[in-house]
Structure 1
Amino acid sequence: MTAEIEVEIATLAAQGDGIAETPAGPLFVPYVLPGERVRIRPEGEGRAALVAVLEASSDRVAAPCRHFTVCGGCALQHMAPPAYAAWKRAQVEAALRPRGLVADIDALVPALPQSRRRATFAATRSRKTLTLGYHEKASHTIVPVLECPLVVPEIERALPALGVLIGHGLSRNARASLLVTATASGLDVAVTGGKALDGPLRAELAKQSAIADLARLSWDGEIVAERRPPLIDLSGMTVIPPPGAFRQPTAEGEAALVRLVREGVGDAGRAADLFAGCGTFTAALAPQAAIHAVESEAAPLAALTRAVREQGPALRFKPVTTETRDLMRRPLLAVEMKAFDAVVFDPPRAGAAAQAAELAKSVVPVVVAVSCSPATFARDARTLIDGGYRLTRLTPVDQFLWSPHIELVGIFARD
């Protein structure tokens, strides 16, 4: 067995692990804080396990969850809120620095406990037991979880019933994923990895959906029970999303993103909403501007189109047009963006390299970039700035409490 050693933690890395400098090289240690003296056990490949905290940081607090350090969902529950907020803001600075970017960064918009209205659980079944929970850190092992301080109470209350439901549709030693979304009309649950559907299984799943009082249950993309349409509110417009559709993780985070996008777009009369999804920003901007919403997936765009058609007049929307288009492979061209006074883009974690390159060649006066990855945001921001834009405001928004993930809203103006 590898000998234990005592070290001091120098700083935290991008994923929240501490870095200890040793004669053999740096070691990454989870669940520690800068300045702490700790006992660790090296595990190879530059990693070590925490054995004991010998001298604790003044920023160390008691973790609110009994699963912390076993469940892999959270990395930073042991960090006091002011230090945690400062660390997240520093991660944005660190992502900008390699691209030669310097910006005044707003204070972090915080996330609250029990605010996550969308979470993915894992499930597996043996001959005797069913396990529903989260994965351990960097492992396929599932930690059974019946309470979680991250999620909204309605998701937490449903976990026992969801365990029973998935137990009926999971083969022995198979693994399933349950995406659970809280909506205004109840929980919307999308399962992947379950048994193939047949008549008896459909009947049992419908029964269990009723017992769990789910709004909708989909099974590998097919809706098998819809007791009520799952309704989500987007700035006063009600949308029925397709199964598994993206939704901003917290209500508070969504409100912050919407406010910042509105402020960035300002009084623009015509705007494009790229990577629009079900229309979070389209719905927010349509009362003041004509919107062209572009999304690669047809199903969320169809949900947006239907909602605009049915509710747009009563909400006094300006004209809204939609386009199904893969912006990664076929970005909106600079010449196509001449008509827009502002462009909003909210890509997945991979960012929007191709679209940023076209924006950099455009004459659009204002670009608002929403990102869930500081690294790809910095890459795309560098492209925009090299094309003549100026980053006028940058705000980090926390929707993933106690994790290293950070969302950003950057506002760019053409000089």
Structure 2
Amino acid sequence: MSAQKLDITRLGGQGDGIAEGGQIFVPFTLPGDVVNAAVEKGRGTLMAVLTPSPDRVTPPCPHFGPDLEQAGCGGCALQHMADAPYRAWKRELVVSALEGRGITAEVAPLVACAPHSRRRVVFAAKRTDRGALLGFYRAGSHQIVAIDTCVIATPRIVEALPSIRRLATAAAVGREAFHLSVLDAVPGLDIAVEAPFKLSEPDRLRIISATRTEAPVARLSFNGEILIEKQPPQLTFGSVLVSPPPGGFVQATAEAEAVMGELVSDHLRKAKRVIDLFSGSGTFTLRLATQSHVHAVEADGPSLAALDKAARRAQGLKPVSVEKRDLFRRPMMTAELKAYQGLVFDPPRAGAEVQAQDIARSAIPRVAAVSCNPVTLARDLEILIAGGYRVLSVTPIDQFLWTSHVEVVALLERPKR
């Protein structure tokens, strides 16, 4: 490993600064920085900022930065970057992904995300001789960095960190690292523990007893098994209350979800019948059902059951039907899509390449494509465009603040033949 003086000229796709020549990636640096870095195999460890970039600001979190003793939790990549250039860079991630597929489309300004708005956070934990170590993995490693605050999580999650740490200690019956997914819901936190070890009956009873005394926690599950539910955790999708399953997928922030819901609902407003693919627990289905008949398709049974239960209890919705189906193994065929005038799909990061091919052959007038991965979204949009669809708008949404991840909503229509 050698120390080098480097001029940082641009940012890479993961938020690392790239030195002149494009061969050395240095985390925690920005274009315009002149730095000393220890370099090994194309990666630099920041040692000192000799000349700071004009875009450099003081990070708001004490756990952010290259200091191996005091910071470096790995949850964020760009807290040291001023807002305007940060937002421009994040929007450019979407522009570049589209251009990489030869797609010309107007990309809207980035919809900003406020600090302390992330309602779902996944912590890493590990048993130690002094209780559980709770925090986030350091970037590029399996080392857990302990935290006592977090500037992206909701205030209720931050205030509950001592409770979460105590419950992690109760659950740490094995030596392996494990995860706690914490959802800020009503009336309290929903904690889903996922671990590579099993619980004995005394372990279960001890965790249940510990959870009873932690007021912020409404429910705790272990590897999908609900151990204690004081009250069912609930979220509101549009105007409908839903109790998602333990560890079930939800959008990271309520504000971003509302923006996405509005974009999709407005685009599909004239559709009498809509199909929602990869529906989850009903983020879009239950909003769309105020104006259209909706068929929701999802592979995860508990999420689909939560959607169905919520729809049956809600007042003022048009009919909602559900179908459990793995759309990667068995996509909706073109013939099955004939009954619908609108479609929304929100797949995992891998995208929906095979499903997009059937959508491209359909006659559905309006499609909304939602994704947390601009690269796979661009691939799927290319398929739809080749099938005759036209992109009307692309909106990037920053619900993953200070990271390299960005949510995108693309709206398409099939011109009348």
Range of TM-score over shorter length: over 0.9
Aligned counterparts, 1:230-249, within 5 A: 230-249=233-252
Verify the 8 A CA contact 2:269 2:291 in the aligned structure 1: no
What is the rounded CA distance, in whole Å, between the counterparts of 1:151 and 1:3 in structure 2? 38
> What CA deviation, in whole Å up to 9, does each residue of 1:183-226 have, x standing for no partner?
01100000011753333222221222122221100011100000
Verify the 8 A CA contact 2:32 2:54 in the aligned structure 1: no
Verify the 8 A CA contact 1:349 1:373 in the aligned structure 2: yes
Equivalent residue for 2:62, pick from 58, 66, 70:
66
What is the rounded CA distance, in whole Å, between the counterparts of 1:40 and 1:119 in structure 2? 32
What is the rounded CA distance, in whole Å, between the counterparts of 1:287 and 1:125 in structure 2? 48
Aligned counterparts, 1:232-271, within 5 A: 232-271=235-274
The answer to whether the aligner puts 1:219 opposite 2:214 as a matched pair is no
Aligned counterparts, 1:14-413, within 5 A: 14-22=13-21, 26-44=23-41, 46-69=42-65, 70-171=72-173, 173-193=175-195, 196-213=198-215, 214-311=217-314, 314=315, 316-413=316-413
Verify the 8 A CA contact 1:127 1:172 in the aligned structure 2: no
Letter in 1 for 2:56: R
> What CA deviation, in whole Å up to 9, does each residue of 1:265-305 have, x standing for no partner?
13111110110000010111101100010001111111111
What is the rounded CA distance, in whole Å, between the counterparts of 1:90 and 1:155 in structure 2? 31
Letter in 2 for 1:215: A
What is the rounded CA distance, in whole Å, between the counterparts of 1:121 and 1:252 in structure 2? 22
What is the rounded CA distance, in whole Å, between the counterparts of 1:98 and 1:217 in structure 2? 44
**SS of structure 2 residue aligned to 1:164:** helix
**SS of structure 1 residue aligned to 2:287:** helix
Q: How far 1:159 moved relative to its partner? A: 1.3
> What CA deviation, in whole Å up to 9, does each residue of 1:155-175 have, x standing for no partner?
111111121122122135321
Letter in 2 for 1:356: A
Verify the 8 A CA contact 2:132 2:172 in the aligned structure 1: no
Q: How far 1:362 moved relative to its partner? A: 0.4
Letter in 2 for 1:319: P
> What CA deviation, in whole Å up to 9, does each residue of 1:38-64 have, x standing for no partner?
1111022x1111111111121111000
What is the rounded CA distance, in whole Å, between the counterparts of 2:174 and 2:391 in structure 1? 53
What is the rounded CA distance, in whole Å, between the counterparts of 2:9 and 2:255 in structure 1? 33
What is the rounded CA distance, in whole Å, between the counterparts of 1:91 and 1:249 in structure 2? 19
**SS of structure 1 residue aligned to 2:20:** strand
Letter in 2 for 1:393: S
Letter in 2 for 1:326: D
Verify the 8 A CA contact 1:218 1:224 in the aligned structure 2: yes
What is the rounded CA distance, in whole Å, between the counterparts of 1:209 and 1:168 in structure 2? 9
**SS of structure 2 residue aligned to 1:402:** coil
Verify the 8 A CA contact 2:244 2:306 in the aligned structure 1: yes
What is the rounded CA distance, in whole Å, between the counterparts of 2:188 and 2:131 in structure 1? 28
TM-score (norm. length: structure 1): 0.96
Verify the 8 A CA contact 1:296 1:326 in the aligned structure 2: yes
Q: How far 1:348 moved relative to its partner? A: 0.4
Letter in 2 for 1:9: I
**SS of structure 1 residue aligned to 2:23:** strand
The answer to whether the aligner puts 1:10 opposite 2:9 as a matched pair is yes
Gaps of 5+ in 1: none
What is the rounded CA distance, in whole Å, between the counterparts of 1:336 and 1:199 in structure 2? 48
Q: How far 1:126 moved relative to its partner? A: 2.3
Letter in 1 for 2:238: S
**SS of structure 1 residue aligned to 2:168:** helix
**SS of structure 2 residue aligned to 1:252:** helix
What is the rounded CA distance, in whole Å, between the counterparts of 1:271 and 1:130 in structure 2? 47
What is the rounded CA distance, in whole Å, between the counterparts of 2:245 and 2:174 in structure 1? 29
Q: How far 1:130 moved relative to its partner? A: 2.4
**SS of structure 1 residue aligned to 2:64:** coil
More moved, 168-177 vs 73-82: 168-177
Letter in 1 for 2:84: P
**SS of structure 2 residue aligned to 1:7:** strand
Q: How far 1:129 moved relative to its partner? A: 4.3
Verify the 8 A CA contact 2:36 2:47 in the aligned structure 1: yes
More moved, 258-267 vs 110-119: 258-267
What is the rounded CA distance, in whole Å, between the counterparts of 2:207 and 2:2 in structure 1? 52
Verify the 8 A CA contact 1:120 1:178 in the aligned structure 2: yes
What is the rounded CA distance, in whole Å, between the counterparts of 2:171 and 2:269 in structure 1? 50
What is the rounded CA distance, in whole Å, between the counterparts of 1:194 and 1:117 in structure 2? 25
Verify the 8 A CA contact 2:118 2:153 in the aligned structure 1: yes
Letter in 1 for 2:62: R
What is the rounded CA distance, in whole Å, between the counterparts of 2:328 and 2:126 in structure 1? 35
Aligned length in residues: 408
Letter in 2 for 1:64: P
